[in-house]
C-alpha cells in the first residue's frame, strides 16, 4: 500500500475515533442530564433553592450539570449559579472560592471608594494577575446607573476587580463563566427590587360601604397583597 493510501486510512481512522469520542461524550452528558433532572425535580419545589430556580426543574438540572463539571454538589450549584441575560454566571465571591480551592491566592493591594486592585496568583508561582477598577473606569463602562456605586462604591469596585482577576488567572477553573455583577451591570439591569404594593383603581359605588373583610380603600385605591418582583442581583454576596 502506498504512503498516500496509508495516510488516507490513518485520517479515516482518526476521524472515526474522534466521532466515537464525540458520541461517547454526548451520551455521557445525556446520562448526566437525566440524573440531574431527577434531582432537580425534587429540589426545585422546595425552599432549599433560590427563587430563581423555584419550580424550574429543567433549568436547575442544567445548572446542576454545569456545577458538577466544576466540582460542585447539587446544592452548591443551585445556590452558586444564576442565569443573567441568557448566560450562566456566578457571584464574584463564589468565583474567588473556586479559585482559592484550586490552589490560588487572592489579595488586595488597594481598596478605596475610588479604586480597588485585586491580585491572584497560583501558590508557588511568581506570576501575578491583577485587575484594577476605578470609579472613572466604571463611569466609562456605563455602570454608574447602578445606585450601589453611589452608596457602596468600594464593594462594587471590589466585585468587578475580583471577578476580572480570577478570570485572568484561572480560566480553566471558571470554565468561561462571567460574574453576575459583570453580566447584569453591563446592560443596566439586575437590581433587586423591594416588595411593592400593587395598586389598581377601586370599584367603589356611591353610597356603598366597604365590607369588614374588604381590602382598605384609601383615596379610591385598593391596596392588595405585596407582589415580589424578582430580578438578578448585582450585589456581591
Q: Residue 115: its pLDDT value, please? A: 96
Q: What is the dihedral of CA 228, 154, 159, 192, to 10 degrees?
A: 10
Say what the pLDDT of residue 23 is: 81
Q: What is the 3-state secondary structure (H, E, C) of the chain?
A: CCHHHHHHHHHHHHHHHHHHHHHHHHHHHHHHHHHHHHHHHHHCCCCCCCHHHCCCHHHHHHHHHHHHHCCCCHHHHHHHEEEECCEEEECHHHHHHHHHHCCEEEEEEEECCCEEEEEEEECCCCCCEEEEEEHHHHHHCCHHHCCHHHHCHHHHHHHHHHHHHHHHHCHHHHCCCEEHHHHHHHCCCCCCCCCEEEEEECCCCCCCCCCCCCCCEECCEEEEEEECCCCCCCCCC
What predicted TM-score, i.e. pTM, was given to this entire model?
A: 0.62
pLDDT at site 210:
45
**Which of 77, 80, 105, 78 has its CA nearest to residue 94?**
80
Residuewise pLDDT in 10s, the chain (237 residues): 566 555 565 566 777 788 888 888 788 878 888 899 999 999 999 988 888 899 999 999 999 998 888 888 998 899 888 888 778 888 899 899 999 999 999 999 989 999 999 999 999 999 999 999 999 999 998 888 888 899 999 999 999 999 999 999 999 898 878 888 776 544 333 333 222 333 344 444 445 444 444 444 444 444 343 343 344 444 444
Amino acid at each position: 500500500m502506498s504512503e498516500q493510501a496509508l495516510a488516507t486510512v490513518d485520517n479515516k481512522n482518526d476521524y472515526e475515533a474522534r466521532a466515537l469520542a464525540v458520541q461517547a461524550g454526548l451520551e455521557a452528558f445525556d446520562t448526566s442530564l437525566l440524573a440531574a433532572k431527577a434531582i432537580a425535580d425534587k429540589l426545585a419545589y422546595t425552599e432549599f433553592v433560590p427563587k430563581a430556580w423555584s419550580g424550574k426543574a429543567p433549568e436547575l438540572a442544567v445548572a446542576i450539570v454545569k456545577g458538577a463539571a466544576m466540582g460542585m454538589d447539587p446544592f452548591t450549584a443551585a445556590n452558586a449559579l444564576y442565569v443573567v441575560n441568557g448566560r450562566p454566571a456566578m457571584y464574584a465571591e463564589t468565583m474567588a472560592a473556586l479559585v482559592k480551592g484550586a490552589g490560588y491566592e487572592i489579595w488586595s493591594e488597594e481598596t478605596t471608594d475610588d479604586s480597588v486592585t485585586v491580585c491572584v496568583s497560583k501558590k508557588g508561582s511568581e506570576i501575578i494577575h491583577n485587575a484594577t477598577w476605578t470609579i472613572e473606569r466604571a463611569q466609562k463602562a456605563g455602570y454608574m446607573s447602578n445606585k450601589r456605586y453611589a452608596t457602596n462604591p468600594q464593594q462594587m469596585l471590589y466585585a468587578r476587580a475580583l471577578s476580572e482577576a480570577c478570570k485572568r488567572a484561572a480560566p480553566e477553573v471558571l470554565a468561561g463563566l462571567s460574574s453576575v455583577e459583570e453580566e447584569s451591570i453591563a446592560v443596566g439591569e439586575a437590581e433587586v427590587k423591594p416588595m411593592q404594593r400593587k395598586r389598581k383603581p377601586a370599584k367603589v359605588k356611591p353610597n356603598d360601604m366597604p365590607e369588614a373583610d374588604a381590602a382598605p380603600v384609601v383615596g379610591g385605591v385598593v391596596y392588595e397583597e405585596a407582589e415580589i418582583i424578582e430580578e438578578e442581583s448585582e450585589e456581591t454576596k
